[in-house]
Structure 1
Amino acid sequence: MMLVALALDLALGWPKALYDRIGHPVTWLGALIAGLEQRWNTDRPARRMRGTAAALLVIGLAALVGLGVQLALPSGWVGIVLGGAIAWPLVAMRSMHTHVAAVLHPLQDDDLPAARQAVSMIVGRDPAQLDPAGVSRAALESLAENTSDGIVAPLFWGAVLGLPGIAAYKAINTLDSMIGHKTARYLEFGWASARIDDLVNLIPARLTGLIFALVSGRAKASLACMWRDARQHRSPNAGWPEAAMAGALAVRLSGPRIYGAEVTQEPWVNSGAADPGPADLRRGLGLYARSMVLLAISLCCIAIWTIWPL
């Protein structure tokens, strides 16, 4: 099913006409989360408890829907194809490439305002002060982190647990992106969402870093950078694919950044390397494409082994 989902996403993405007609599962989840947050994130003494209840409700509902659909599928190849079609919108391989390429093209044309506008669609920081190197860094960091969150992790949990797994993971990831922030409003209410997201991404994040290293042509440097610098990252998981990509491309990532009016002094990843530029961003997209090929081959091998055990 995950191979079918990956193939459909590669071929079609999520068509705008379909989005305009029915939306997207992430927007459905987002509407549910926003409604719960608006109603339950009010009583300070009970914020953590209510936030935990909201997270478990959203995750449980997503998993239950996935399980119900999976149990209703016919057996054999028809069920596999139908299940893959249902999982298709939960994989973001094509859109990830599209969004990063949208940053690369204006950067190559020396159109910094357009590049800043494009990168603002995929990062949370303020792009207004970013120079070309800063825009390239932000795009590469987003590419690395979202390869794990948007592609490897959902496919991993879908391969392990089927439709309930990929649906529950997408609910967890959406919860974290909406309410898992360390702000006054969400620190307590989003606590459980952030912790659960950290837990379910432990394996996929490290797996993504390994995949980057294996297809990079600089496996030793990529693995060394990942092992050395990943734990210095503010996130327990994002540092692994980011460090692997930094080592693979021989550039530095992370470092100080601006969120709203706040400047955070983050440590550099691969600090002794040069800043990235448009050429490095282009190489990053090439690394991403090769990683997706290896991921698809790996899924294919697992599927064959599942059908015809050795």
Structure 2
Amino acid sequence: MLLALATDAVLGWPSAIHARIGHPVTWIGALTAVLDQTFNRADGTAAMRRGAGIGVAIAIITLAAGVGWACAAMLPGGWPGLVLTAILAWPLVAARSMHDHVDAVARPLMSGDLPAARQAVAMIVGRDPSQLDAAGIARAATESLAENTSDGIVAPLFWGAILGLPGIAAYKAINTLDSMIGHRTPRHEAFGWAAARIDDVANLIPARLTGLLFAIVSVRPRLALATMWRDAHHHRSPNAGWPEAAMAGALGVRLSGPRIYGGQLAQEPWLNGEAPDPSAADLNRALALYRRAMLVLAAGLALLALL
């Protein structure tokens, strides 16, 4: 997992490879979309749709874990097998792309180009960016950075370190299922129930580890820890509040709060609500915090490998 993280940090997922073969997450997403269209029938009862969703979730997660197990079983031992395992795990870690997507928001925001910043932030958040001011853009990007550090980096590495290729592959299937069907919408309330609950369990420990990472590398670790402990449970998600609240405390800004989804105002509670809104400079500070967290994460993996 340390080698996979290092490879991704240096290379990301090259566009030439993506153009040729896509990405494992897009493969899982395509399968999920097909099964959603096939089994999530509008004329079915809620119980039928929930049952179908449970079956689809189990099937996709089992398939991903099985592919990971089969790949691991075919690899040689020693250093060749270690390197090949890292190469196979590499596309399932999103450290470089996470940084690049948030940096793409920070650069135009720093220069005052709000239309470009809105366009960039629309790539990483689900809320309507058209009405966001500079503070709203910075807040959205900072929240995405905090939450997706857990979902896109810490969690897959956590499960990969414990269970190897089957673990990291199964986790990416779980996270992709949740992002596609784990929503409380009329279409997916029942069908995506299992996907959302499994994702909650899979992220229970990684989300809290991510919050701890942010606090450790902060210039104000006690405040970050106190904010996380106090405010994390205010978040609508049982897990996302931990890294977001830690990030809010570490930067001395407020996150979460009201936002617009699909033209509807969602009255979300604030995290670190007594602090000011983040600015473009705070978004750059969040990226610096993220880079330090990744270095500490790498050091932790190196220590585990040595032990």
The question of 1:144 aligning with 2:143 is answered: no
Q: Is 1:221 aligned with 2:220?
A: no
Q: Distance in 1 between matches of 2:135 and 2:121?
A: 12
Deviation at 1:217?
Answer: 1.5
Determine whether 1:127 maps to 2:126.
no
SS of residue paired to 1:289: helix
Q: Which residue of 2 aligns with 1:61?
A: 63
Q: Hey, what does 1:244 align to over in structure 2?
A: 246
In 1, the alpha carbon distance for the partners of 2:163 and 2:180 equals 24
Instruction: Report what 2:165 is aligned to.
Output: 163
Deviations 1:6-51 (A, max 9, x none): 1110111000000000000001001110110010000422100000
Alignment-derived partner of residue 25 in structure 1: 24
> Aligned partners of 2:287 and 2:263: how far apart in 1?
31
SS in structure 2 of the partner of residue 263 of structure 1: strand
- In the TM superposition, residue 257 of structure 1 has moved relative to its aligned partner by 0.4
Partner Cα separation in structure 2 for residue 167 and residue 113 of structure 1: 37
Aligned to 1:308: none
Q: Which amino acid aligns with 1:73?
A: L
Look up the match of 1:179.
181
Runs of 4+ in 1 over 2 A off after TM superposition: none
Alignment gaps of 5+ in structure 1 = 306-310
Q: Which residue of 1 aligns with 2:84?
A: 82
Residue type matched to 1:137 in 2? R
Percent identity of the aligned residues? 67
CA–CA separation in structure 2 for the residues paired with 1:281 and 1:196 = 31
Q: Could you list the runs of 5+ residues in structure 2 that have no partner in the other structure?
A: none
Alignment partners' CA distance in 1, 2:255 and 2:6: 31
Distance apart, 1:4 and its partner CA:
1.2
Q: Residue 5 of structure 1 aligns to which amino acid in structure 2? A: A
User: Map of 1:99-118 to 2, 5 A cutoff?
Assistant: 99-118=101-120
Q: CA deviation at 1:284?
A: 0.2
**Secondary structure at 1:258 match in 2:** strand
- Aligned residue number for residue 41 of structure 1: 40
- TM-score, length-scaled by structure 1: 0.98
Query: Partner residue of 2:15?
Result: 16
- Tell me the equivalent position of 2:262: 260
**1:107-142 CA-partner distances (Å, limit 9, x unpaired):** 011000110000000000000111100000000000
Report the secondary structure of 2:277's partner residue. Answer: coil
Q: Decide which moves more: 38-47 or 205-214.
A: 38-47
Equivalent residue of 2:243, what SS?
Answer: helix
Among candidates 197, 200, 208, match of residue 199 of structure 2: 197
Q: Supply the AA of the counterpart residue of 1:4.
A: L
1:167-226 CA-to-partner distances (Å, cap 9, x unmatched) read 000000000000000000000000000000000000000000000000002110000000
Distance 2:10 2:21 in 1: 20
Distance (Å, rounded) in 2 between the aligned partners of 1:182 and 1:285:
31
Alignment partners' CA distance in 2, 1:33 and 1:282: 35
**Paired residue type of 2:137:** V
1:206 to 2:208 alignment: yes
Q: Deviations over 1:282-301 (max 9, x none)?
A: 00000000000000000000
Give me the whole-angstrom Cα distance separating, in 2, the residues matched to 1:21 and 1:146. Answer: 26
Structure 2 letter corresponding to 1:129:
Q
Distance 1:256 1:69 in 2: 45
Give the letter aligned to residue 96 of structure 1: M
Letter in structure 2 aligned against 1:59: I
- Paired letter, 2:88: I
Q: Which residue of 1 aligns with 2:2?
A: 3
User: Higher mean Cα deviation, 38-47 or 11-20?
Assistant: 38-47
Matches of 2:170 and 2:146 in 1, distance apart? 22
Take 1:11 and 1:259, find their aligned partners in 2: how far apart are those partners? 35
2:273 to 271, 277, 286: 271
What amino acid is the match of 2:295?
A: V
SS in 1 for 2:250: helix
Q: Could you tell me how far apart the structure 1 residues matched to 2:44 and 2:111 are? A: 50
